[in-house]
Structure 1
């Protein structure tokens, strides 16, 4: 728990003051003592070891040497002025050089005195040299704080450095902070958990994360604070889930009626997979409990999430409710609209589409039909949550690609009915289990891990630039069979900074290689107007063009079963999840489909791992796990969710064991003591009542 002193404005801390406080707020968001306390070092310099001069290897990083200063002199004038010192130990000599702070050094350096020097050694004119080393007088009886131990290194900025708040400056004010507040820090975890997992108490952990005595103490401090961080995130999420279940009643869908049964028996275009049936049963159970459903459905591209969502909406309609589906882009919303219209007869249920491009007169008709209850399903973009949109009785809401919406936008849908609608969140971005537990810990999670029968796995090949003619030949073979091809570029126009193939160059190349009238090309990118994008896409959908040259705007929202080839240019520049999403645009028909990853001849280690993974695997969940290992959580959750993901220390890619332990601990607490009445849980009860309590709560509230 945080005592009052930790809420103090940072300006009051010794060594800060009003000017530094202002720059700390603007640059790194530090307002209070508590904010500074959780501004952890991002690495540590090992000052526990001394090197002899003859042991110095110029390939080593920063090193520490104990030397006697033999002599020093100032050379040059004005711009060429520098101070050069000769230092020795019993194995050799090193030259030290400074270009700044010369007057101060001249006054304070003492010949024949022993110093600890610290810096990066280089070889210059055959001599071992160190430029601008840190210098400290050696006193074996009084070693100053931070010396002969692991020294913290803090992130800084150019503006902070102008106020002497580089890493060393932050280290000084951190030391001042611990002097005044360390003994004020109280526990935020039950004592039995500290004992069970052999954690440090809070004061020990904070002391050793900033000024560790040694590597063992640092590791234990990091483990403690990571556990606390993940524990409190899970505590908040599971507490919110429990409260929501108690607070928000849900409409009861008691009937499996005419619409659902007729669709299942007569209109379903294929046999449902066992995974789809399982998810529908989970939704059926959720909507009979009398509590609001909040369920996330994860499924690979093409796994049949839309059919599951449609059947859940028909269930709502059978029970006298309206339904809606909200998608992040007009392209995707329009795609869903056409997909559902194609699955349902015209007189079966009424469906409308509402986006930013919907004309005023059409909006008026939609509003009237929605308010009267005549309209059963409304599909659209975030336009659905705008104030003028009023449902008669919204009972079920589907949100597609949840990571592109924020919590606030999801919550606005709740207000569209007196009793909040049941919420079904869908994502075609497979999310590793650890990330799902953290991002969506307040949701129930379902997984569709089977593809519909008859779908053939997509064959993926990696070709280098030198193999481009082979790629062109393959395209012509597939087009000759009546198939269509996507080509995706990472940029619209040429970039001076990145040596990438770009879309406009690509169109030019394709036009020469695939000339009219034999071949026709569609062009789609983010700078086109919505109507132009739609026109180009429809040409491709109708088969009027054989090749679509596009940017990643087609990552979601285009469903062309006849398209059998996806070519991704500069594939090494894309993340694994995005490559997998793009690949999922093909393989939607019965024919064999292919994905060709084009890359330059030189690949980074991570780039090669990504492309090799794509060639080897079609499993979206395996790919997501590798992606998490390579690049961390990134922004999978979307900016609006960042309050959940502002992890100070924990790493979801490497701290899965700690996350599992933390989550199981929270589940166990709520199972045994849901109201937190036991004496050992009073700390947590206090935290749940006041989100400002607990050092770690700053990260998750």
Structure 2
């Protein structure tokens, strides 16, 4: 039994008391909690369960469904240790239904093997999947039970985000201690009752009690779906805090000045007259919006989103010329060398005839070449294109007026700040133009980019051909190879994209090399090339140039070609194991074909059996080429963190809210947020501090 907590200082708000005032929280535990952002008692209240495990019942093995989490009980029937490829332990258990379930372990100790002897009765919990011998659970949670009929849990078991050295059981105990310090409703509420309108939601105090300790009679199905009124009450407050935070950041950015970039139009007119095509209406509209922004003396923060091939680079080039006309420098930063080099090629083609030579700065630019570029940036260089290298020490701009960031969701917030600060002079900062080829659903943009003005290029240039997408089983691989032979015989080129579930450059490279060997043997008359993430930049560039020139007919690649590759003659793409990728990434890959005048195809070569989620993804790809439809579907299927790539950047990691599920709350969030900023600014500050705390460091990023 935990001992009663020591009485806290009564002069201290219990919410703001340090976690060390809780019983049993010493320096080591406090350090582990701090890694989770938990330093005050209040932080424990709002560190919410990721999900719930239903251990209130036992499921018969014969009733198990693939993809579901379940608790089963049975006797060990057989144990087998294997060492093919890597050590593994397989344990077969049987229950009274007569069915068998395999428990598979890749990490195990000898003592563990000894505990799992035949005849041992086990109770196991985990995710069911289909293995070679039928239903299996990989690395289940399990315990030995003496006899059938041992009591099960009486309530759902919350599962929290934890860190090394902090078990679920210990964290649940700490949460229980913290909940004892919950104040009454009046002291806890920060959203005035009058602003909540007709939302029939419980009080914040009742909501917190329920999500941390669901009672036995709680609506289990609603909790597991995240749709319980208590979860919606917390989601409303979390969404509101993010909205208020971004609105505040927007206001802070507006307090800075920026250079008013008003050029004479000379370069832009020459640029338009030399383009081999006319800009679409959407490109022209977005260009007007950008030029109005950068002509003002407050900093532009504009996101331009457009589908693959909609012509964002042309819009960015026109914006760059407006800045250069006004006597300022421009930096364009992209997340990969492939994408940055693609921009460099286009900009050189368009701008060198106008007397502007774009500079190039990437990690591989070293020695004398690097010194030369740095001197030009500090001198009269007008435009520099590069990767993360643009943010390194030693890069000093003479007069940076516009920072263009492509595929912004691949950069961490601090990286974008670092580029902006390269052009900071006193309280003046450069304008920022952010580009993305990942169309963001409206519901997501309203929340994730409340601090940005958003422009949409919603029109494809004439001549772009829709890509026909077909879904084919790996059993028909031979037919797909023949299709490549036929396309290349007609003078076309093709991609073969390899994907792996493990995020390892080494394994990805090995898979691509195996595919290269197989396809080279199957297509002896064709030159087959290879590109993967472990190749040196120079090697990659050489292969890509050969593919662009037509010297390579078939390019085997990993997902490194997702962005930044433009080969109009490539009209066929095969994606192996597409079920392993999200919709946004599949759509980006597919965008590498259909860039010329010839009808193009994308073959999704899947490995069965497919899960329901994978089937829904592939069906969405088959039925639509519309990036916004794909984005809405991706949001529905995967959630916002995956879609924005924010697992890495930390921009948008909700604890309880889900933008797809809780989209109906967003109009209320905007209404309440506007009223709070106007009438209850102090409460708004406290709400942001409660949910986000120190995470608002990226003001103006």
| Aligned-residue offset at 1:314 | 0.7
- Where does residue 387 of structure 2 map in the other structure? 381
Q: What CA distance in whole angstroms lies between the structure 1 residues aligned with 2:60 and 2:410?
A: 52
**8 Å Cα contact 2:530-2:557 kept in structure 1:** yes
User: TM-score by structure 1 length?
Assistant: 0.78
| Aligned-residue offset at 1:626 | 1.1
User: TM-score by structure 2 length?
Assistant: 0.78
| Aligned-residue offset at 1:665 | 2.6
Of 531, 537, 553, the residue aligned with 2:560 is 553
| Aligned-residue offset at 1:253 | 2.4
Structure 2 residue 254 is matched with structure 1 residue 237? no
Structure 2 residue 587 is matched with structure 1 residue 577? no
Change (3 A) 1:700 1:658: farther
Change (3 A) 1:157 1:492: closer
CA RMSD of aligned residues (A): 3.5
| Aligned-residue offset at 1:474 | 1.6
Structure 2 residue 162 is matched with structure 1 residue 154? no
Structure 2: segments with no counterpart, 5+ residues: 1-10, 72-122, 126-145
Of 384, 398, 409, the residue aligned with 2:404 is 398
| 1:448-487 Cα deviation digits (max 9, x unpaired) | 1111011110111111122222212221221122111111
**8 Å Cα contact 1:556-1:581 kept in structure 2:** yes
- Where does residue 130 of structure 1 map in the other structure? 148
**8 Å Cα contact 2:583-2:617 kept in structure 1:** yes
Query: Residues 89-488 of structure 1: matches in 2 within 5 Å?
Result: 130=148, 132-134=150-152, 151-155=156-160, 166-167=168-169, 170-183=171-184, 185-212=187-214, 214-215=217-218, 219-245=228-254, 247-264=255-272, 266-346=273-353, 348-373=355-380, 375-417=381-423, 418=425, 419-488=428-497
Change (3 A) 1:304 1:44: closer
| Aligned-residue offset at 1:175 | 3.3
Q: What CA distance in whole angstroms lies between the structure 2 residues aligned with 1:651 and 1:521?
A: 44
| 1:355-408 Cα deviation digits (max 9, x unpaired) | 1111322222222222222x2111111111222122221111111110111221
**8 Å Cα contact 1:233-1:700 kept in structure 2:** no
| 1:148-195 Cα deviation digits (max 9, x unpaired) | xx555234879768xxx644x654443332223333852221332234
Change (3 A) 1:56 1:458: closer
SS across alignment from 2:636:
helix
- Where does residue 79 of structure 1 map in the other structure? none
Q: What CA distance in whole angstroms lies between the structure 1 residues aligned with 2:164 and 2:484?
A: 53
| 1:130-159 Cα deviation digits (max 9, x unpaired) | 354259xxxxxxxxxxx6xx5552348797
Change (3 A) 1:3 1:447: farther
Q: What CA distance in whole angstroms lies between the structure 2 residues aligned with 1:463 and 1:453?
A: 30
| Aligned-residue offset at 1:36 | 1.7
Q: What CA distance in whole angstroms lies between the structure 2 residues aligned with 1:57 and 1:330?
A: 51
- Where does residue 684 of structure 2 map in the other structure? 684
| Aligned-residue offset at 1:695 | 5.0
Change (3 A) 1:638 1:603: closer
| Aligned-residue offset at 1:554 | 0.9
SS across alignment from 2:180:
helix
| 1:411-460 Cα deviation digits (max 9, x unpaired) | 12222232311111001112222222333221111111111011110111
| 1:655-691 Cα deviation digits (max 9, x unpaired) | 1111332123324555xx2xxxx4x44422555xxx6
| Aligned-residue offset at 1:653 | 2.0
Change (3 A) 1:519 1:238: same
| 1:577-614 Cα deviation digits (max 9, x unpaired) | 11111111111111111111111242111111111111
**8 Å Cα contact 1:555-1:585 kept in structure 2:** yes
Q: What CA distance in whole angstroms lies between the structure 2 residues aligned with 1:355 and 1:698?
A: 32
Q: What CA distance in whole angstroms lies between the structure 2 residues aligned with 1:539 and 1:492?
A: 29
SS across alignment from 1:502:
helix
**8 Å Cα contact 1:401-1:427 kept in structure 2:** yes
| 1:222-243 Cα deviation digits (max 9, x unpaired) | 2211100000100010111022
| Aligned-residue offset at 1:272 | 1.4
Name the count of aligned residue pairs.
600
Change (3 A) 1:119 1:639: closer
**8 Å Cα contact 2:676-2:684 kept in structure 1:** no
Structure 1: segments with no counterpart, 5+ residues: 64-117, 121-127, 136-146
SS across alignment from 1:130:
coil
**8 Å Cα contact 1:576-1:624 kept in structure 2:** yes
| Aligned-residue offset at 1:539 | 0.9
Q: What CA distance in whole angstroms lies between the structure 2 residues aligned with 1:289 and 1:667?
A: 25
**8 Å Cα contact 2:305-2:439 kept in structure 1:** yes
- Where does residue 7 of structure 1 map in the other structure? 16
- Where does residue 40 of structure 2 map in the other structure? 32
**8 Å Cα contact 2:471-2:605 kept in structure 1:** yes
| Aligned-residue offset at 1:19 | 7.6
SS across alignment from 1:598:
strand
Q: What CA distance in whole angstroms lies between the structure 2 residues aligned with 1:180 and 1:338?
A: 62
